[in-house]
Chains A and B, each alone.
Chain A
Amino acid sequence: MPLVARKDPLAFEVFYDRHAGAAYSLAYRIVGGRTAAEDVTQEALLSIWRSGARYDRARGSVRAWTLGIVRNRAIDLLRKESGRSPRLAAGGEELLERSPAEDMTDTEALRRETAREVRGAIDHLPDDQSRVIRLAYFGGFSHSEIAEMVNEPLGTVKGRMRLGMDKIRATLAEGL
């Protein structure tokens, strides 16, 4: 990252090759279309190129930082396209189920395997916890919107988020 921050195009090329796949995959998962995912990825990566110096090691890995930027851009796009927030109820369920139909190349196999392993940390959550977390992270819904969607008190939704995230954290601490 220091070289990226110093605006070294070769360093950024390495950065691109290392993180663009994960960035594009997350963008696709959130926005649900190739063109929009490309747009989000391009905007996010160029914003990193132009502000690389703002990366702070204390705030997590480069990958986590990058995906955070991608996620925010993708959610912004969803909100822009839907007026403020993604459609409630039906739209939320679609977001949970969205899955790309995409051919896998050999070079993707390893990255997919890693993703499958990390997904285990989420898949083992109780449905009610997993659901509110995914609606928040992938759907861009606020906790009050989610409370309305799942027809539960706000405090219950918040509690489920906390319990679910604590379990993911514990699973990570055990080395997945």
Chain B
Amino acid sequence: MTGDHPHRDDLVAYALGALDPREEREVEAHAPSCARCTRELESLAPAVAVLGESVEQLEPPPELRERVMAEVRRDAAGAAEQVQAIPRRPQRAGWRGLLLRPAVGLAVLAIAVAGIAGYLVASNGGEEGGAASTVAVVPATPGIGGTLAVGEQSSMLDLHGLEPVSGREVYQVWVARGQNLRPSSNFIPDSGGRATTGVDGHLARGTKVMVTREPHAGRTTPTPPILLSATVQ
């Protein structure tokens, strides 16, 4: 520091991200309220930016764009939902389609009204044609909860309390029946930790649906721990 001001060399090092943490804190404590130091840092900004722009230019893979924009649209849909202040409704077409089946719709409604928590919370939606039920998931991790709405040809997991993922991480749904285990859908929760995802195929009684967090999509074996599970009754 020179007088009350950081030394100019230190401002340059700060602009390059090269100060030690203690020195960095000192600059950050001082500069915002100092016109002189703020001017100096602002004048350094274009030179620092040049460093970032000077690298070999590559084309990012198209999948990256798809992943980022999918997340952005999901966030935007969630935000619009909150702004409208209407009861939360699943946004995805598959989920909406499932709700059109009366039996499943009734089962989900029963959960909403009763607010029941527990292992098995809803009854069969019907014995004939369109049998459906909703079971509450059993969380193995505190804070996670949700329901599994079971339909004839597909089912739907509606979850909350999920931690955000980073990088290429995804949540993966697994379906276990006897000794057979297969991966189903994978998903990324919204910024509020909620997710609704389809589970393909008919889930016979006794089938167990589980969710894990995986380092990337496309895994064929689950990575422990199992975060939650639901058994079709």
Contact = CB atoms under 8 A, between A and B. Distances in A.
B121 interface: no
The A interface, classified by DSSP as helix, strand, loop or mixed, is helix
The B interface, classified by DSSP as helix, strand, loop or mixed, is helix
A119 interface: yes
A172 B49 CA distance: 11
Sorting the interface of chain B by its residue count into under 10, 10 to 19, 20 to 34 or 35 or more gives 35 or more
A87 interface: no
Given A20-B64, A102-B56, A60 B46 contact: yes
B168 interface: yes
Contacts of B166: 39, 43
Contacts of A63: 49, 53
B50 A118 contact: yes
A25 B56 contact: yes
Given A42-B67, A136-B13, A118 B18 contact: no
Given A9-B76, A165-B16, A21 B167 contact: no
B57 A38 contact: no
Interface string A32-49: 001100110111011001
A169 B168 contact: no
Nearest to A134: B51
Given A20-B60, A133-B51, 17 more contacts: A7-B79, A21-B57, A21-B58, A22-B57, A41-B60, A42-B168, A46-B71, A49-B68, A64-B45, A64-B49, A75-B17, A122-B50, A134-B51, A136-B17, A137-B18, A137-B48, A162-B8
Interface of A: 7-9, 12-13, 16, 20-26, 28-29, 34-35, 38-39, 41-43, 45-46, 49-50, 58-61, 63-64, 67-68, 70-72, 75, 99-100, 102, 104-105, 107-108, 111-112, 114-115, 118-119, 121-122, 133-134, 136-138, 140-144, 146, 155, 158-159, 161-162, 165, 168-169, 172
11 contacts: A16-B68, A16-B69, A22-B52, A38-B168, A46-B68, A46-B72, A111-B57, A115-B55, A158-B9, A161-B16, A162-B12
Closest 10 CB pairs of A and B: A39-B167, A67-B52, A64-B49, A136-B18, A24-B60, A158-B9, A29-B55, A119-B54, A60-B45, A136-B16
